[in-house]
Copies of this chain bind each other. A is one copy, B any other.
């Protein structure tokens, strides 16, 4: 499996742990700080730690698992540990975990002593196919997601799909939604192979192709001014549904489950507004409905959902902007849809 060369750093897929060891050996770092959470500390850290043991220069920093940890207080805790450990400018951060660990670890490293090197070892499917590429670091504040952060590239990314074996199936499905999205926006053949694969544990080829697609998109548009908007497919409605669910359901939707709903609704809008063929709408709907549980979308939530969309930082002047599809594999950015159209797309999903 070929290494992908991003903007300024490599993304490894084969013998990744050994590649990490090589990287550290060649790097002349004063010390390595491995950031994990409770789960990756149990399931993924041992392999990394064993591989690096002979170098005798690693310290471990562990945070609680979950989005609740991704905030400035935890950053302050990590910065303080770096100070206590005596981390200097030649220190390396190795972030071993899902998107929470890679986003927060990247932010901490990019601001400690005005920036030390860091590498990503993404261990969740979502982190591998999405968070690992693009250079966005960040944490939440006051309930606002990723509001504090930097654009800083890691020095390397090490993807090891064996780590996925301990991921709960529902978390795998969450990452899978982004892979399906990658197919829908630019690569029909990839979408077709996803359709016919066993997706309970995606193969390294599938993960690789997803990373390749995301990488191509972000390299063309590193600061999110144009075509990076392609990646928003499913996210305008999906984010609103995710926020609604976070506030109203005890056992709330995962990110991917919400994005799957968003992709169905936005496929409907694509069909209505820019000519996505009827059979392709039917295909997208049926593939996603087979993979993801049906969510009970009620008419009386639509007002709130629309409000969330209007407040979304991606939208301007009250218009709600969509990335839609003209065909499977062909995206189209900056499509404004009216509240009435959006409600109809939600009704389409609700009636399935």
- Residues of chain A having any CB pair with chain B under 8 Å: 72, 75-76, 79-80, 83, 88-89, 107, 110-115, 136-138, 141-142, 144, 147-151, 313
Contact = CB atoms under 8 A, between A and B. Distances in A.
Given A88-B313, A89-B313, A115 B151 contact: yes
Contacts of A114: 136-138, 149-151
A113 B107 CA distance: 12
A154 to B, nearest CB: 15
Given A76-B141, A79-B141, 10 more contacts: A72-B72, A72-B76, A72-B79, A79-B147, A80-B142, A110-B150, A111-B148, A111-B150, A113-B313, A115-B151
Contacts of A79: 72, 141, 147-148
B113 A80 contact: no
A78 to B, nearest CB: 11
A76 B144 CA distance: 13
Contacts of A75: 72
Given A72-B76, A76-B72, A115 B150 contact: yes
Give the residue among A75, A80, A147 with the most B Cβ atoms within 10 A: A147
Contacts of A112: 147-148
Contacts of A110: 150
A312 to B, nearest CB: 11
Give the residue among A114, A141, A147, A313 with the most B Cβ atoms within 10 A: A114
B150 A83 contact: no
A104 to B, nearest CB: 13
A83 B149 contact: no
8 contacts: A80-B141, A88-B313, A89-B313, A111-B149, A111-B150, A113-B147, A113-B313, A114-B150
B83 A147 contact: yes
Contacts of A137: 114
Contacts of A142: 80, 83
The 10 closest A-B pairs by CB, nearest first: A114-B149, A111-B148, A114-B151, A72-B76, A80-B142, A79-B141, A83-B144, A83-B142, A114-B150, A111-B150
A142 to B, nearest CB: 5
Given A76-B141, A114-B136, A150 B150 contact: yes
A239 to B, nearest CB: 16
A84 to B, nearest CB: 8
A83 B148 CA distance: 10
Contacts of A313: 88-89, 113
Contacts of A111: 107, 111, 148-150
A143 to B, nearest CB: 9
A83 B141 CA distance: 9
Give the residue among A72, A75, A111 with the most B Cβ atoms within 10 A: A111
A83 B143 CA distance: 10
Nearest to A82: B147
A72 B71 CA distance: 12
Nearest to A138: B114
Nearest to A136: B114
Contacts of A141: 76, 79-80, 83
A151 B313 CA distance: 26
A31 B213 CA distance: 36
Nearest to A141: B79
